[in-house]
Amino acid sequence: MDKKITSKSTQHLLWVDLEMTSLDPTKDRILEVAAVITDWDFNEIAMFDSGVGHDIKEITSLIDANPFFIKMKENKRALLELSSQSPPEKVVERLLIDFVRTHCDTHYPIILAGNSIHIDRQFIKAYWPMLDQLLHYRMLDVTSWKLVFESKFGQKFEKAESHRALDDIRESITEIKQYIGYIHHADS
């Protein structure tokens, strides 16, 4: 299938953030997912947020192996509780696909957006292949903008670092708006 971008296929962006046990999709697992659909002015159209259910013993051992969670005890506790009360992975994938189909024209590949979105995409490919099939190969990665604006222009976006999926997406949207605002300001 030719995944050429057309004006119709770029009407919306699918912003996704995953919270995982760590960053290796061959062994780590998704604990939480949030998705926000925006237009190209980054106005929020719709939002999806869910935990991902797993066997708690398996997830606890994966989290305990990740040094990041040692300093993030509250985050660890919240994500474990969320996972214990959430639908299983395949159900969450189906709900997320239904959400995307409701708000996007899936006759065209969908542009995935977020911070370091290539990592989230690896997990999507590994665990949610049906969702992955709906996505364009191109992605909007806010981290690329961050590198340019910090290195070239000395503009730094201060993040809250909550490490919760929905908060992180909304922060990424605010961040790209700041960078685009800087461009508009420089043009005036």
78 inside domain: yes
Domain contains 1: no
Count of structural domains within the chain: 1
Query: Which domain range does residue 76 map to?
Result: 13-187
Q: What percent of the chain has pLDDT over 90?
A: 68
Higher pLDDT, 85 or 183: 85
Q: Is residue 5 part of a domain?
A: no
Q: Which of 7-11, 29-33, 122-126 has the lowest mean pLDDT?
A: 7-11
Q: Is 137 a catalytic residue?
A: yes
Catalytic residue among 108, 127, 137, 179: 137
The residue with greater pLDDT, 79 or 8, is: 79
CA distance 22 to 65: 9
Asked whether 45 and 104 are in contact (CB, 8 A), the reply is no
pLDDT band per the 50, 70, 90 thresholds, residue 7: very low
Tell me, what's the pLDDT at 128?
98
In a domain, 107, yes or no: yes
